[in-house]
Structure 1
């Protein structure tokens, strides 16, 4: 007796939320580390009366950061999909990168779906940050202006003004980190602090110092579509020197702030592992030619840097040293 053939089992379609999570690059959380950094700056010295408002503002600001980063990454993917640069940088001739990270190229999302998600993320960001402003214990004009600037310009990395295409990508990557720290600190304390500014500058250099390695890898695709990054505009040696200069700036901020008395004298000692490994990162990328491995190291160095900065702030508050017993 013949048995009927078993019906073919259709493959399950990809789960939509996973495609949107990849579109938003939620696994790259490096900018979000600004919130625990600022928390370490303000919570130890805060009063119980303001703790609830402080936590609410921190969480709302974090929600806005996640939404803004999602919008920025989404519109960047739409632009890269339209002009073909992502097809070059993430196509079959670029096996070191995962195609699944680009849902538009992989076909798991359509362009209208992505654009709609980008605008919804932008709206969510604006709502979170408006709520944070409303609940903030202080609202100095410069901090409010910083939050408004983030809201207006953050999603325009590759959209509308196309900041990253018009020669300002590197500045944008660093400035985004600076503005994720300074205005938030201002909203919670009402003041501008020099050591906080140094930490904000160091924090912003972190994403820059893995972004420039991505740009070095992406020169063919970026040049083909007119994306004017430093890696595209400069000769190979000039680009290597530019990245070395950015790395040296990080070291100068750390050491110089301690020498000037802005930071504790031991600040460079704590940050020394990051500064030493920056040299290894540059050597790996520009001497050994392992650009994407150097980028990965840069991501880990930024996360290490954030952990060390948090330790510095807690130590300065006496929580780790016991000096405030």
Structure 2
């Protein structure tokens, strides 16, 4: 659900023989872990943002910490399910082999266990369904002991777990209907605002602004991945912005996303959601965004631009946490 969501059309697997004969004994556990993307922690950092948004008296409350832990485990499982389903779809269509194969050495084929032959298609599908069920159970447990259950927060979580995650590249295959960038932003938003609502019973202005900013982080990683993978995605009919727009149009679109991020930061104090100094805290983030765009779009090193985007998202989270602690007090 970050830039890891690279899909393909559902055709016959081009490298089935490699899957049947290429798996190494004892490699099953690492192969199962790869679809979970344990190194991609961008979405999971939402817990730090939500925790810092809580009133100081609630941050060490047992019920709140238990809810955060259950929600985190659910996030990990649901993201793993979405990525595993996506890997199967990308493998069937051949886009993963094209985008991560020998002709693309910067992106190791081993990151994709199906074309690499370290995991069978059936095993990946089983893993995806098991991860989905586990994620739903974790979020159900969180709903049992949360102090509040506003209808909108519960509705968003149920929709995310039961409809959006399994249907992104499986079933309805929402990732093929367009607006993938909006989808990534909404997922990031859903990992912040509903949880905050469950813990506090409300959706405040600062929480809404920070959820919006957090959601833009994965988008500003994914658009660089999509730019790199545009040829393969275009061949399988995946309607991401990089495939639908011209090269210059895609650059302008990515630049506009960064401008949108800046607009949200500057507007928050004007709306009374945050203190006047709120935009000043994000100067390092915006400097990193300028570097990301320069390297990725101007110089054309899109994969390095993607890496800078991952770092920028972490800078965003650190900034949000620091700002929240300053606004609400450390204790």
TM-score of the superposition, structure 1-length normalised?
0.92
Task: Compare 106-115 and 233-242 and name the one that shifted more.
Answer: 233-242
Match for residue 211 of structure 1?
222
Contact 2:42 2:218 in 1 (8 A): yes
Match for residue 114 of structure 1?
124
1:214–1:47 distance in 2 versus 1, CA, 3 Å: closer
Match for residue 312 of structure 2?
301
Bigger Cα Rg: 1
1:47 & 1:250 partners in 2: Cα distance? 28
1:102–1:42 distance in 2 versus 1, CA, 3 Å: same
Q: In the TM superposition, what is the alpha-carbon distance from 1:36 to its structure 2 partner?
A: 1.4
1:12–1:120 distance in 2 versus 1, CA, 3 Å: closer
Matches within 5 A, 1:2-13: 13=25
Task: Compare 258-267 and 182-191 and name the one that shifted more.
Answer: 258-267
Contact 1:137 1:188 in 2 (8 A): yes
Task: Compare 252-261 and 72-81 and name the one that shifted more.
Answer: 252-261
| Deviation digits for residues 223-271 of structure 1 (CA, Å, limit 9, x no counterpart) | 1111000100111111111111111110000011122221111111111
Match for residue 195 of structure 1?
206
Task: Compare 165-174 and 55-64 and name the one that shifted more.
Answer: 165-174
Contact 1:14 1:108 in 2 (8 A): no
| Deviation digits for residues 260-298 of structure 1 (CA, Å, limit 9, x no counterpart) | 221111111111111122122111111100000000000
1:12 & 1:112 partners in 2: Cα distance? 17
- Provide runs of 4+ in structure 1 moved above 2 Å: 11-15
Match for residue 76 of structure 1?
86
Contact 1:45 1:317 in 2 (8 A): no
Match for residue 278 of structure 2?
267
Match for residue 242 of structure 2?
231
Match for residue 164 of structure 1?
175
2:329 & 2:73 partners in 1: Cα distance? 29
Contact 1:177 1:203 in 2 (8 A): yes
Match for residue 46 of structure 1?
58
Which of 231, 247, 251 pairs up with 1:240? 251
1:94–1:12 distance in 2 versus 1, CA, 3 Å: closer
2:90 & 2:133 partners in 1: Cα distance? 22
Q: In the TM superposition, what is the alpha-carbon distance from 1:166 to its structure 2 partner?
A: 1.5
Contact 2:178 2:239 in 1 (8 A): yes
Q: Does 1:87 align with 2:97?
A: yes
Q: In the TM superposition, what is the alpha-carbon distance from 1:160 to its structure 2 partner?
A: 1.3
Contact 1:24 1:73 in 2 (8 A): yes
1:12 & 1:21 partners in 2: Cα distance? 15
1:265–1:87 distance in 2 versus 1, CA, 3 Å: same
The number of aligned residues is: 308
Return 5+ residue gaps in structure 2 as ranges: 1-22
1:47–1:74 distance in 2 versus 1, CA, 3 Å: closer
Which of 271, 289, 297 pairs up with 1:286? 297
Contact 2:24 2:118 in 1 (8 A): no
Contact 1:138 1:187 in 2 (8 A): yes
2:229 & 2:329 partners in 1: Cα distance? 45
Match for residue 15 of structure 2?
none
1:182 & 1:244 partners in 2: Cα distance? 26
Match for residue 316 of structure 1?
327
1:105–1:70 distance in 2 versus 1, CA, 3 Å: same
Greater relative contact order (CA < 8 Å, ≥ 6 in sequence): 2
Q: Does 1:20 align with 2:32?
A: yes
2:255 & 2:82 partners in 1: Cα distance? 27
Which of 97, 107, 121 pairs up with 2:107? 97
Return 5+ residue gaps in structure 1 as ranges: 1-10
